[in-house]
Structure 1
Amino acid sequence: MTTKDGRRTPGSLEAAAMGVLWAADEAMTAAEVQEALGGGLAYNTVQTILIRLYDKGTVQRRRVGRGHAYWPTQDAATAAAAQMSAALTGRPDRTKVLQHFVGTLDESDVALLRQLLADEP
C-alpha cells in the first residue's frame, strides 16, 4: 500500500484500520487497533484515522474510559459492494467501466456473476 517513492497510497491507512476492525470479534480502542496494525504507527495517527472513519459514518463508537471503542457500520462485503456501486453511479462511461471490470475477472468469477444475475428476480 505504498507508492514507488515509499509513500502510502491515499486511503491505505483507513483501509488497513477497517481490515483490523472487520477481523475483530468486538469493538476496539485506538490502542488495540494500533497494536494490531503494527508498523510503528503513532497512537495519534491511528486515533485520527478512526475519528475520520467515524465522521464519514464508516464506524460507530462508544465511550470507553477516556477514549472510545470503534466498530464497523457495515460488513466488508457490503462496504465493497457500496464502493463498486459508487464507482458506477452517475458515470457517463458506465458501460466502459463495466466492460473493463468484467475483463479483469477470471472464468470462475464470470460464471459466478452469470449465476447471480440469473438468480435475480
Structure 2
Amino acid sequence: MSRRPLGQLEAEVLAAVSVSGPATTAELLSRIPGDPAYTTINTILFRLHDKGLVTRERDGRQYRYRLAVDEARLVADKMHDHLRYASDSSSVLSQFVDALSPEEVDELRQILEHRGKRT
C-alpha cells in the first residue's frame, strides 16, 4: 500500500466529515479510501480538532466529530494561499484552468459572469 501525504489524508478526513455530518472515528474509517488504520484517522481527527477545523462531543466512550468550518471556504483559502506564494500566478491559473473538465470550465465561466454583473 502506498503512503499518501499527510495533507491529503487530512483533506480526505475533512471531506468525509463534511459529507457524513457528525461521525465517530469508526464511522469515518469506512469512508476513507485506502484502508487507513483506525489510529491514523483518530490522530488526524485530534489534529484537526486542535487546528479548530472540527469540533467534537462525547458520545459514550468515543467522540463524535463535526465540521467546524465551511469546506468551500477552507479549500478556497488554501488555493488562494498557494496562488499568492507562486512566483508566476498567471501561469498557475492557466495550468489550473487547463486541468478543468468542460463542465468545470462552464461552472467557472458562470461564476465569473455572475460576479461581473454584481460589480
Report the TM-score when normalising by structure 2: 0.75
* Distance in 1 between residues matched to 2:64 and 2:48, nearest whole Å: 13
Return the match for 1:99 from 94, 108, 111.
94
Q: Do residues 69 (structure 1) and 64 (structure 2) align?
A: yes
Q: Which runs of 5+ in 1 are unaligned?
A: none
> How many percent identity over aligned positions?
37
- Matched residue, 1:7: 3
Cα deviation, 1:51-82, whole Å, max 9, x if unaligned, reads 11112222111222333211112344333222
1:19 positional shift: 2.6
Q: Which runs of 5+ in 2 are unaligned?
A: none
* Distance in 1 between residues matched to 2:88 and 2:24, nearest whole Å: 42
| 1:24-35 alignment runs, 5 A limit | 24=20, 26-35=21-30
1:38 positional shift: 7.2
Return the match for 2:107 from 104, 112, 117.
112
Report the TM-score when normalising by structure 1: 0.74
Sort the Cα spacing of 1:43 and 1:104 in 2 relative to 1 into closer, same or farther, 3 A: closer
* Distance in 1 between residues matched to 2:31 and 2:91, nearest whole Å: 39
In angstroms, what is the RMSD of aligned CA positions?
2.5
Aligned residue pairs: how many? Answer: 116
- Counterpart code for 2:90: T
SS of 2:6's partner is coil
Q: Do residues 43 (structure 1) and 34 (structure 2) align?
A: no
